[in-house]
Amino acid sequence: MDDASVGFEEPVGPARAAHRALAEHGRTCATAESLTGGLIGARLTAVPGASATYRGGVIVYATDTKASTLGVPEDLLAEHGAVHPDVATHMARGVRDLMGADLGLAVTGVAGPEPQDGQPVGTVHTAVATSDDIFAREFRFAGDRSGIRDRTVEGALALLVSVLEGNMAENTRL
Protein backbone atom coordinates (compact mmCIF):
# COMPACT_ATOMS: atom_id res chain seq x y z
CA MET A 1 0.00 0.00 0.00
CA ASP A 2 1.55 3.31 -1.01
CA ASP A 3 1.25 6.56 0.97
CA ALA A 4 -1.28 8.07 -1.43
CA SER A 5 -3.71 5.23 -0.91
CA VAL A 6 -3.91 5.86 2.86
CA GLY A 7 -4.48 9.60 2.56
CA PHE A 8 -0.98 10.95 3.04
CA GLU A 9 0.14 13.81 0.86
CA GLU A 10 3.62 15.04 0.18
CA PRO A 11 4.33 18.22 2.19
CA VAL A 12 4.34 21.43 0.19
CA GLY A 13 4.53 25.11 0.87
CA PRO A 14 6.84 27.10 3.12
CA ALA A 15 8.74 24.12 4.60
CA ARG A 16 9.52 22.68 1.16
CA ALA A 17 10.59 26.13 -0.05
CA ALA A 18 12.88 26.48 2.98
CA HIS A 19 14.55 23.11 2.34
CA ARG A 20 14.93 23.89 -1.35
CA ALA A 21 16.60 27.25 -0.60
CA LEU A 22 18.86 25.72 2.06
CA ALA A 23 19.93 22.93 -0.32
CA GLU A 24 20.52 25.32 -3.22
CA HIS A 25 22.85 27.37 -1.02
CA GLY A 26 24.50 24.38 0.66
CA ARG A 27 23.37 25.51 4.11
CA THR A 28 21.78 24.03 7.22
CA CYS A 29 19.44 25.54 9.78
CA ALA A 30 18.30 25.01 13.35
CA THR A 31 15.24 26.38 15.10
CA ALA A 32 14.49 27.96 18.48
CA GLU A 33 10.78 28.10 19.17
CA SER A 34 8.74 29.68 21.91
CA LEU A 35 5.10 30.37 21.01
CA THR A 36 5.04 27.75 18.24
CA GLY A 37 6.09 24.95 20.60
CA GLY A 38 7.86 22.90 17.94
CA LEU A 39 5.54 23.49 14.98
CA ILE A 40 8.35 24.85 12.80
CA GLY A 41 10.51 21.81 13.47
CA ALA A 42 7.53 19.53 12.83
CA ARG A 43 6.81 21.19 9.49
CA LEU A 44 10.46 21.06 8.46
CA THR A 45 10.82 17.39 9.38
CA ALA A 46 7.63 16.48 7.50
CA VAL A 47 9.51 17.08 4.25
CA PRO A 48 11.30 13.96 2.96
CA GLY A 49 15.07 14.36 3.12
CA ALA A 50 14.89 17.06 5.81
CA SER A 51 18.00 15.76 7.58
CA ALA A 52 20.15 17.11 4.73
CA THR A 53 19.36 20.71 5.71
CA TYR A 54 17.75 20.69 9.17
CA ARG A 55 20.04 20.14 12.17
CA GLY A 56 17.37 20.22 14.88
CA GLY A 57 15.73 22.61 17.25
CA VAL A 58 14.83 23.53 20.79
CA ILE A 59 11.56 24.55 22.35
CA VAL A 60 12.25 27.25 24.93
CA TYR A 61 8.75 28.00 26.07
CA ALA A 62 9.48 29.26 29.59
CA THR A 63 11.28 32.58 29.81
CA ASP A 64 14.12 31.27 31.99
CA THR A 65 14.94 28.50 29.50
CA LYS A 66 15.71 31.10 26.87
CA ALA A 67 18.59 32.22 29.11
CA SER A 68 19.75 28.84 30.38
CA THR A 69 19.56 27.00 27.05
CA LEU A 70 20.32 29.65 24.43
CA GLY A 71 22.23 32.33 26.31
CA VAL A 72 19.64 35.09 26.08
CA PRO A 73 20.89 37.67 28.60
CA GLU A 74 18.93 37.52 31.84
CA ASP A 75 19.00 41.31 32.18
CA LEU A 76 17.36 41.65 28.74
CA LEU A 77 14.61 39.24 29.80
CA ALA A 78 14.16 41.03 33.13
CA GLU A 79 13.90 44.45 31.49
CA HIS A 80 11.79 43.64 28.41
CA GLY A 81 10.36 40.16 28.91
CA ALA A 82 10.47 37.34 26.38
CA VAL A 83 8.47 39.14 23.67
CA HIS A 84 11.13 41.45 22.30
CA PRO A 85 13.13 41.62 19.04
CA ASP A 86 16.48 41.36 20.85
CA VAL A 87 15.31 38.16 22.53
CA ALA A 88 14.58 36.66 19.10
CA THR A 89 18.02 37.63 17.80
CA HIS A 90 19.79 36.09 20.80
CA MET A 91 17.69 32.95 20.43
CA ALA A 92 18.64 32.68 16.74
CA ARG A 93 22.35 33.04 17.48
CA GLY A 94 22.12 30.65 20.40
CA VAL A 95 20.42 27.84 18.49
CA ARG A 96 22.72 28.28 15.49
CA ASP A 97 25.72 27.80 17.76
CA LEU A 98 24.15 25.06 19.89
CA MET A 99 23.21 22.93 16.90
CA GLY A 100 26.23 23.71 14.73
CA ALA A 101 24.05 25.02 11.92
CA ASP A 102 24.79 27.66 9.31
CA LEU A 103 21.62 29.58 10.20
CA GLY A 104 19.50 29.87 13.29
CA LEU A 105 15.78 30.64 13.02
CA ALA A 106 13.94 31.85 16.13
CA VAL A 107 10.42 32.90 17.07
CA THR A 108 9.03 34.45 20.23
CA GLY A 109 5.70 36.13 20.76
CA VAL A 110 2.18 36.08 22.15
CA ALA A 111 -0.31 33.56 20.80
CA GLY A 112 -2.89 34.34 23.47
CA PRO A 113 -5.37 34.27 24.91
CA GLU A 114 -3.89 37.02 27.13
CA PRO A 115 -1.25 39.72 26.46
CA GLN A 116 2.28 38.99 27.73
CA ASP A 117 5.11 41.30 28.77
CA GLY A 118 2.98 44.30 27.86
CA GLN A 119 2.59 43.03 24.29
CA PRO A 120 -0.81 42.37 22.70
CA VAL A 121 -1.89 38.98 21.43
CA GLY A 122 -0.55 38.44 17.92
CA THR A 123 2.81 40.16 18.47
CA VAL A 124 5.55 37.95 17.05
CA HIS A 125 9.30 38.52 16.68
CA THR A 126 11.30 36.36 14.30
CA ALA A 127 15.02 36.34 13.60
CA VAL A 128 17.50 34.54 11.38
CA ALA A 129 21.15 34.49 12.38
CA THR A 130 23.83 33.79 9.81
CA SER A 131 27.54 33.78 10.59
CA ASP A 132 27.72 37.43 9.48
CA ASP A 133 24.33 39.03 10.04
CA ILE A 134 21.07 38.98 11.93
CA PHE A 135 17.79 39.57 10.12
CA ALA A 136 14.63 40.23 12.07
CA ARG A 137 10.99 40.85 11.38
CA GLU A 138 8.03 41.72 13.58
CA PHE A 139 4.55 40.47 12.79
CA ARG A 140 1.17 41.51 14.19
CA PHE A 141 -1.23 38.67 13.52
CA ALA A 142 -4.96 38.69 14.22
CA GLY A 143 -7.02 35.66 15.06
CA ASP A 144 -7.15 32.86 17.55
CA ARG A 145 -4.22 31.07 19.19
CA SER A 146 -4.05 28.32 16.58
CA GLY A 147 -4.17 30.74 13.67
CA ILE A 148 -1.46 32.97 15.17
CA ARG A 149 0.81 29.97 15.66
CA ASP A 150 0.24 28.74 12.09
CA ARG A 151 0.89 32.19 10.60
CA THR A 152 4.04 32.45 12.73
CA VAL A 153 5.36 29.23 11.21
CA GLU A 154 4.66 30.49 7.70
CA GLY A 155 6.15 33.93 8.40
CA ALA A 156 9.29 32.50 9.99
CA LEU A 157 9.91 30.08 7.12
CA ALA A 158 9.32 32.88 4.60
CA LEU A 159 11.90 35.00 6.45
CA LEU A 160 14.39 32.14 6.27
CA VAL A 161 13.87 31.77 2.52
CA SER A 162 14.18 35.54 2.00
CA VAL A 163 17.49 35.60 3.86
CA LEU A 164 18.86 32.70 1.83
CA GLU A 165 17.77 34.26 -1.45
CA GLY A 166 19.14 37.69 -0.56
CA ASN A 167 15.72 39.35 -0.74
CA MET A 168 15.91 41.20 2.56
CA ALA A 169 15.26 44.90 2.90
CA GLU A 170 18.01 46.79 4.64
CA ASN A 171 15.75 47.71 7.56
CA THR A 172 15.53 44.04 8.56
CA ARG A 173 19.29 43.67 8.97
CA LEU A 174 20.50 44.28 12.51
Position 14 pLDDT exceeds 50: yes
- pLDDT, tens only, 108-150: 999 999 999 999 999 999 999 999 999 999 999 999 999 999 9
Asked whether the whole model's pTM tops 0.85, one would answer yes
The strands making up 123-129's β-sheet, listed across from edge to edge, are 54-59, 29-33, 103-109, 123-129, 134-140
- Please say if the pLDDT value at position 6 is more than 60: no
Closest among 46, 64, 60, 53 to 30, alpha carbons compared = 53
Q: Is the pLDDT of residue 37 over 70?
A: yes
Burial of 26 (0-12, 13-18, 19+ CB in 10 A): exposed
Q: Is the pLDDT of residue 173 over 60?
A: no
Q: Helices (H) and strands (E) in the chain — how many of each? A: 6, 5
d(CA 171, CA 67): 27
